A = this chain, B = another copy of it.
Amino acid sequence: MAKKLIKREENYSQWYNDLVINADLAENSAVRGSMVIKPYGFSIWEKMQAALDKMFKDTGHSNAYFPLFIPKSFFSKEASHVEGFAKECAVVTHYRLKKDDSTGEIIVDPDAKLEEELIVRPTSETIIWNTYKNWIQSYRDLPILVNQWANVVRWEMRTRLFLRTAEFLWQEGHTAHATKEEALEETEKMINVYADFAENWLGVPVIKGYKSENERFAGALETYAIEALMQDGKALQAGTSHFLGQNFAKAFDVKFADKEGKLDHVWATSWGVSTRLMGALVMAHSDDNGLVIPPKLAPIQVVIVPIYKGEEQLKQITEKASIITKSLEDKGISVKFDNRDTHKPGWKFAEYELKGIPVRIAIGPRDIENDTLEIARRDTLEKVTKSQEGIEDYIEDLLNKIQENIFQKALKFREENTFKADTYEEFKDIIENKGGFVLAHWDGTPETEQKIKNETKATIRVIPLDAIEEEGKCVYSGKLSNKRVLFAKAY
């Protein structure tokens, strides 16, 4: 914690990168576009995984694991799918290295060329539907409700820690159903699960909707997404759920016999969230002092810092701290007592602000005398002095308040930065000068969407599920429209 962060308003992008690195969340690796997720960052991701995994299981899903490599021929079977991913595929062509006899260097053995190249999975629909072919014969085999936690690779040219990396960690759900209705229901169920997680765990309010054709997943008939607003006024897509229709079942010839013995292709969904959520967490809540982590996802929820001179004082404080620690841990609250003598209290305060620990307790000699504690909350930076009596209830309640406050603050920010635009001038002015979400009428054509994108860099984030039917005219073409859609510049 030697370096101070640059302020968000000075350079938001640099603030983000520096914060991710200084707070020990992640760093760039020696491999182009790939990051190292450091222990502190990974411990937050583990909390996210645990919460999501429980939500998936509570909705009837099981985990499984499918191969990292996908034969090139599989990839080519669903036409729009391969078109969407072809440009960013890492390709394995050989399976052996050897020592070059003349130079002594390690080289790729030219004799070990694969007959068919293997793609490192950018997503797993093709390998999974090839597998499902063997799992599905009749309606009795359906539905299949499977999720996979995995790494995937998409060869992105411009990368940013967590937000866009060549390799990232994610989960991908892949389900198979007997009817269109059931698959659509699943698609919606999972976007609701993601919205629930985003709002109640990440503390990030999201707008649920479906994507325009241009922004759909390659191979999907419908893509649902949740969109969140970051502090710089840009949108971040935080999760997607795809209704794949019978596209992959047709590409891989997956049919089932219904109760009457009639054969039909199976209906599919897929849905995923990734380590990108770490970026959302950082950008939605953090401030110029560092991270602000929602208590439900904080690896350490409470840190206790002793303020002392000499061994005797430290001993007294340590006794007190261990009583408090025990009473908090009994309530399932995670606590760290930082008694390191290598750093001063002020340094520790700054360090834990940077790391986003929700609650800091300081105990000094006066607190020993008065049976008090100083309690500081990270979200508001407020400090209060409290009696030690009943402190565990107070802290438990405070953690809930912080969780709620973080969400409310983000919600207020979003509300203050969501605008309606009725003319293209207004639209351009908001996008260019204010940022934020813009609700505007659109004529429903990919051409108009593309032109707006080219001219303003704003895209349709979603067509909100709760959009109100209202007559209006497309801000670009002036053609009739019956509801507003959500535009923004996006990560």
Contact = CB atoms under 8 A, between A and B. Distances in A.
A351 to B, nearest CB: 14
Interface in A95-138: 95-99, 105-106, 108, 117-120, 127, 130-131, 134
Interface stretch (A71-79, A229-237, A412-420): A71-79
A249 interface: no
Interface stretch (A37-45, A217-225, A262-270, A442-450): A37-45
Nearest to A70: B31
Contacts of A63: 39, 42-43, 46
Contacts of A119: 97
Interface in A231-247: none
Contact of A169 (B29, B65, B118, B167): B65
B82 A29 contact: no
Interface range on chain A: under 10, 10 to 19, 20 to 34, or 35 or more? 35 or more
Interface stretch (A85-93, A282-290, A303-311, A382-390): A85-93
Contacts of A151: 68, 150-151
Contacts of A86: 96-99, 106
Given A43-B62, A106-B75, A120-B92, A67 B97 contact: no
Interface string A23-67: 000010111001111110011001000000000000000111111
A94 B150 CA distance: 22
Contacts of A74: 30
Contacts of A127: 29-31
Contacts of A197: none
A131 to B, nearest CB: 5
Contacts of A169: 65
A74 B31 CA distance: 10
A342 B140 CA distance: 10
Contact of A106 (B39, B43, B82): B82
A36 B131 contact: yes
A103 to B, nearest CB: 12
Contacts of A46: 63
A88 B95 contact: yes
Given A62-B39, A117-B108, A130-B30, A153 B68 contact: yes
Contact of A69 (B34, B43, B72): B34
A146 interface: yes
A106 B72 contact: yes
A167 B69 contact: yes
A96 B155 contact: yes
A487 B68 CA distance: 36
A68 B35 CA distance: 10
A71 B39 contact: no
Contact of A92 (B91, B131, B134): B91
A32 to B, nearest CB: 9
A119 B67 CA distance: 17
B34 A68 contact: yes
A67 B152 CA distance: 11
A102 B99 CA distance: 37
Contacts of A67: 29-31, 34-36, 167
Given A72-B97, A89-B96, A66 B36 contact: yes
A219 to B, nearest CB: 15
Given A30-B74, A72-B106, A155-B95, A65 B37 contact: yes
A97 B82 contact: yes
A93 B96 contact: no
A27 B134 CA distance: 10
B69 A42 contact: no
A76 B105 contact: yes
21 contacts: A27-B134, A29-B67, A29-B131, A30-B67, A34-B68, A34-B69, A36-B64, A36-B66, A36-B67, A38-B64, A68-B167, A86-B97, A87-B96, A88-B95, A89-B95, A90-B118, A91-B92, A91-B97, A93-B108, A108-B117, A150-B151
Given A36-B66, A97-B119, 14 more contacts: A27-B131, A30-B130, A31-B70, A31-B127, A34-B69, A65-B169, A67-B167, A72-B97, A72-B108, A86-B97, A87-B97, A91-B108, A140-B342, A150-B151
